[in-house]
Amino acid sequence: MKNSIEFLRAGSLSTIQDLRRNNSRVYGIPRSGPMDHRSHMLSNWLLGKDLRSETIEMTLIGPKIKFNFNTNISLCGANSECLINNKKIDMNKTLIIKEGDVLDIKKIKEGNWIYLSISAEIVASKYFDSLSTYEKSEIGGIKGVSIRNGDKINLLASQDIDQKKIPKDIVHDFNEKIIRVIKGPEYYLFDDINYFTDNEFKISPSSDRMGIRLENVGNNKKFEINLESSPVVEGTIQVPPDGNPIVLMKDSQTTGGYPRIGIISSVDISKISQIRANKSVKFRFISLDESNRLIDYDKKKYKSRLGVNLVS
């Protein structure tokens, strides 16, 4: 196939992700998809694509990609030095690519996840109508695994598009550290909720696409709450006996046995995904009504500024 890209360097962890996997959780398969769904959708918006369409998700050290056809691309998410043919380019805007161009995404400076959208459809294996890569079960993407050095990806014909730019007030603010949380099913079983809201937690380096692990340095708090395995969703905050919470993310299991102290409001899931290891985060409980109002506000904001809804 003439339209293709080649990974001269795969980067730390590069996978194909989209927002199209539905109805898989009843079979124990997570939806997977982009960790920062908002940046994923913005990247697609810049190219006039369906917001659910696939992007290439990258983290820490990005890939080096050679384009074998003319197309347009966009890069949104974590702040990174990005180059085309060794010349620095801007993120959060539509970019023109010519056949033979090489995109080089250097080490990420702020945040964790960056998204590359291409104005052409990626040809890859689908599972539950989705290209999203889930490595544990080896489904989606390129043979169900992350992209490797030398991998080539074929794409369908590229589309001509209008040039766009993300308004500055829409771009991610990496200084926000307060995460808003709705009370979870086992909230009332905890005898010391102040422990959870008064303390700052540090993002553990052992965090991954399954879950963000939190640490409270010097914590001696223990929670002995025994439960049967119960359903969990993205954003669920579980508290193991050691008192260090785990925020379940895109590749998490569909059930869990730890008590669910809270569920992160959907407006803040992208935010917590971009907080780097060893950085701090603090939680604030809000009501379900307040969470719904925040979601409605976001919908109106993005509809007004971009003409679309970006909250999933």
pLDDT tens digits for the chain (312 residues)? 589 999 999 999 999 999 999 888 888 889 999 999 999 999 999 999 999 999 999 999 999 999 999 999 999 999 999 999 999 999 999 999 999 999 999 989 999 999 999 999 999 989 999 999 999 999 999 999 999 999 999 999 877 888 999 998 888 888 889 999 999 999 998 888 888 888 899 999 999 999 999 998 666 677 777 788 888 999 999 999 888 999 999 999 888 889 999 999 999 999 999 999 999 999 999 999 999 999 999 999 999 989 888 765
Q: Residue 191's pLDDT is what?
A: 84
Q: Residue 292's pLDDT is what?
A: 95
Q: Residue 16's pLDDT is what?
A: 98
pTM, two decimals, is 0.95
Phi then psi for residue 146, to 5 deg, are -65, 160
CATH of 178-306, one of 3.40.50.300, 3.40.50.2300, 2.40.100.10, 3.40.50.970: 2.40.100.10
**What are the residues whose beta carbons fall under 8 Å from the beta carbon of 188, sequence distance 6 or more?**
none
What's the CA gap between 133 and 126, in Å, rounded? 9
What's the CA gap between 271 and 110, in Å, rounded? 12
3-state secondary structure of 284: strand
Largest separation between any pair of C-alpha atoms in the chain: 62
Parallel, antiparallel, or unpaired: how do β-strands 260-264 and 236-238 relate? antiparallel
Phi then psi for residue 302, to 5 deg, are -70, -35
Q: Which amino acid is at 23?
A: N
Q: Residue 174's pLDDT is what?
A: 84
Name the nearest CA neighbour of 57 among 19, 96, 85.
Answer: 19
Domain regions of the chain by residue span:
4-170, 178-306
Q: Residue 47's pLDDT is what?
A: 96
Helix count and strand count (H, E) for the chain: 4, 18
